[in-house]
Amino acid sequence: MLGSLTRLQRYYLYYTGSFLLFVLALAVLEQHGMPPRWIGYAFLFFTISMYAAIGIASRTSDVSEYYVAGRRVPAFFNGMATGADWMSAASFMGLAGTLYLSGFQGLAYIIGWTGGFVLVALLLAPYLRRFGQYTIPDFLGARYGGNAIRLVAVGAAILASFVYVVAQIYGVGVITSRFVSLQFEIGVFVGLAGILVCSFLGGMRAVTWTQVAQYVILIVAYITPVAILSYNVTGVPVPQLVYGQVLQEVTVLEKRLFDTPAEIEVRRLYSERANTFAEKIMQLPYSLTHEREQLSTMINQLKASDAQMRDIVALERQRRDLPLDPDQARSRWETAMFSAVERSRPPLHHAEAFPGATEEERLPERINFLALIFCLTIGTAALPHVLIRFYTTPTVSQARESVFWSLLFILLLYMTAPAYAVFAKYEVLTHLAEIPIAKLPSWVAAWTKVGLVSIEDINRDGILQLAELSMNPDVIVLATPEIAGMPYVVSGLVAAGALAAALSTADGLLLTITSALSHDVYYRIIRPDASTQFRLVISKSLLLLVAVLAATVAAEKPGTILSMVAWAFSIAGSAFFPALVIGIFWNRATRTGALAGMIVGLMLTIYYILRVEFDSIPWLGIKGFNMEPWFHIHSTSAGVFGVVAGFMTNIVVSFLTKPHPGSEIFLAKIRRESSEGGDHRDK
């Protein structure tokens, strides 16, 4: 049977086998008393050295190998590599958590991130492969002609990819600091090393083959814990099939638990707290000085009487911890107020679509659900690091096949994520709600210590109400092994999977940024006569530079970076999608039209995000420009306006200007319509 497989398939089969043996060996060692910390190190060391071995074995000094893996990647493996390239730390850790927190509304991510591949298959992949160059700016440059569009495309590619790569490296820092207790900053640089060993020497060729290896690890790591949990709860280890029944039980539990008197009381207390903070914010700066004076008087009174020293110290600390100035007070109290408001809301029923008491409340939910799907699909079909993967197959037909495989491999994870959320919710509703706080399962305490779970007994009844519990989305996947009572080796496996997801995406992104700079800017625009040797030197040095820069930014722990990833989809979608699709399917599209469409789309998207999300940009001296969203649409779906504006501008301006003379030959080539009769081979 082994004989019928190709050499590559056999290699990866052996690789998967040895990985499973490695996990098994660790499990046995754990039984014999190997400490968890060592298991974490073993996973970190084993997986990264695997990737390094593949990366070094795939080193290359050939330009085509470096940028597009020599166009020799079979459809099946390109599908796997695309899967790993696509699924980031956010898909691996965050998605299940988002689904847990927002129930049905979270499905927009599942639908959008898979639906986008239909657009890739139908509208883009075959044409990109038939064109057969190296980057997305290449394609736009050839279709429309000129360097201006190439430069705009490079700018947009870097804008969308850089924040994304920073978020991946940040993810690596989080994973390593949690599982092997490295310091966050050191974890970031371990991540940097992990990325560089894959991409530095071998470019796309090395990245492709490590991504295949990383896919295997990430999918095993994602499915194992929830399969075991599913077996514990339902007796069937296929969570995707059986979580429907669990969902029904969850719905029954929700009906019983959501409106008990204690829950309502807790929500009322939170809403009172929110009001207190709102009042305090309204009365700034008076409220701050007043609070400080109050504390001072109390301290003085205590000092005058002979109170316990401990009480005085506690009050003094409280006074010291007060915000320093009204600005700080405002931001701190606003955070506190929003979190109280969040907890005072009635919880969502998991399966309910577009929740709301009236049709009027439901409409914005419905609009935002569809708008988010729209942006995520278009963004998926426009993110350059995914699209360039379809340059790497040997033929056009294989490029088409590889979209199928990509979606299949991605499906395995995305079908499992909602199951994670439902099983976690079942666990919380059965084993946490209405349980005395002293008797909560041990995983709650473990994750409270790391700050990912927080419990506050606001009504002081000693019993946990649902509104008193808040969980960071990442905790769902990370804590499932403990929830199901599995040995630490499974937690280590999950960490290795999350690491693989983050590293594989970071590699693809880094390569996209590097090739945009070295191929499109340096080679195509600045020095078209550069030798291939020198082009590779430039590529490799830029790769190093961009990687170090991204790691440095990630080490700063920028708080907003994670929300910026959601915007990357809108940015990429509005910059690339209209220009690419119109460029392929409409003969009349012109250079000026495409350029205008890209710039208008991009600008509108950024403008909308800034005005909805922020109130001031201190370094530009702009203040008070926050606006009401248009049609209730959140800033994460800003691309809705950008993409539509991009299409319209492109079409209108194209009608007013003349097409680029070279475009007909280009179109004839990618559509295969150059001569009558149809049979025309290039080579």
DSSP code for 622: B
Q: Residues 47, 58, 64, 114: which binds other proteins (CB under 8 A)? A: 114
Q: Find the part of the chain contacting other proteins (CB under 8 A) among 28-36, 392-400, 472-480, 561-569.
A: 392-400
Q: Is the dihedral of CA 500, 504, 510, 511 positive or negative?
A: positive
Q: Which of 153, 204, 281, 403 binds other proteins (CB under 8 A)?
A: 403
Residue 597 in contact with other proteins, rule: CB under 8 A:
no
72 is a site residue for other proteins (CB under 8 A): no
C-alpha dist (Å) from residue 46 to 26, 52, 439: 11, 10, 38
Q: Is residue 662 near other proteins by the rule CB under 8 A?
A: no
Binder among 181, 248, 283, 296 for other proteins (CB under 8 A): 248
Part of the chain binding other proteins (CB under 8 A), chosen from 138-146, 366-374, 531-539, 553-561: 366-374
- Least distance CB 656 / other proteins (angstroms): 19
Q: Is 418 in the site for other proteins (CB under 8 A)?
A: yes
Taking CB under 8 A as the rule, does residue 587 contact other proteins?
A: yes
How far CA 162 is from CA of 202, 211, 377, 438, in Å, comes to 21, 19, 20, 45
Whichever of 130 and 611 has its CB closer to other proteins, that residue is 130
CB of 246 to other proteins, least distance (A): 9
Q: Where are the beta strands (DSSP E) in 365-488?
A: 453-455, 469-471
543 sits near other proteins (criterion: CB under 8 A): no
Q: Helix-strand-coil percent breakdown of the chain, rounded to 5?
A: 80, 0, 20
Any alpha helices (H) in 432-527, and if so which ranges? 442-449, 475-483, 488-515
Binding to other proteins by CB under 8 A, coded x per residue (else -) over 503-542, reads ----------------------------------------
Applying CB under 8 A, among 585, 614, 630, 655 the residue interacting with other proteins is 585
Kindly tell me which residue out of 84, 119, 188, 329 binds other proteins, with binding defined by CB under 8 A. Answer: 119
* Exposed e or buried b per residue across 249-262, where buried means at least 16 C-beta atoms within 10 angstroms of its C-beta: bbeebbeebbeeeb
The verdict on 219 binding other proteins (CB under 8 A) reads: no
For the CB of residue 439, give the shortest distance to other proteins in the complex, in Å. 31
User: Is residue 453 helix, strand or coil?
Assistant: strand
CA distance 131 to 631: 40
Report the C-alpha gap between 80 and 380 in whole angstroms. Answer: 16
**Contact flag: residue 414 with other proteins (CB under 8 A):** yes
Q: How far apart are CA 156 and CA 162, in angstroms?
A: 10
Other CB atoms within a 10 A radius of the CB of residue 572 amount to 31
* C-beta atoms surrounding 289 within 10 Å: 12
- Is 362 near other proteins (CB under 8 A)? yes
Q: Collect all residues with Cβ–Cβ distance below 8 Å to 275 and sequence separation of at least 6.
A: none
* Residue 396 beta carbon to other proteins: minimum distance, rounded to whole angstroms: 4
Nearer to other proteins, 399 or 429 (CB): 399
Name beta bridge partners: 443: none
Q: Select the residue interacting with other proteins from 44, 407, 424, 432 (CB under 8 A).
A: 407
Minimum separation from the CB atom of position 61 to other proteins (A): 25
What is the C-alpha separation between 409 and 82, in angstroms, rounded? 9
The closest of 158, 149, 82 to 113, measured between CA atoms, is 82
CA gap 451, 464 in Å, rounded: 18
- Counting contacts by CB under 8 A, is residue 423 touching other proteins? no
At its nearest, how many Å lie between other proteins and the CB of residue 406?
Answer: 9
Q: Report the chain's C-alpha Rg in angstroms.
A: 27
Residue 625: other Cβ atoms inside 10 A: 11
Question: Binder to other proteins among 11, 22, 41, 404 (CB under 8 A)?
Answer: 404
Q: What is residue 516's DSSP assignment? A: I
394 near other proteins, rule: CB under 8 A: yes
> Footprint of other proteins on this chain (CB under 8 A)?
104, 107-108, 110-111, 114-115, 117-119, 121-123, 126, 129-130, 240-241, 244-245, 247-248, 351-354, 362, 366, 369-370, 373-374, 377, 394-397, 400-401, 403-404, 407-408, 411, 414-415, 418, 585, 587, 664, 668, 671-674, 676, 678-679, 681-683
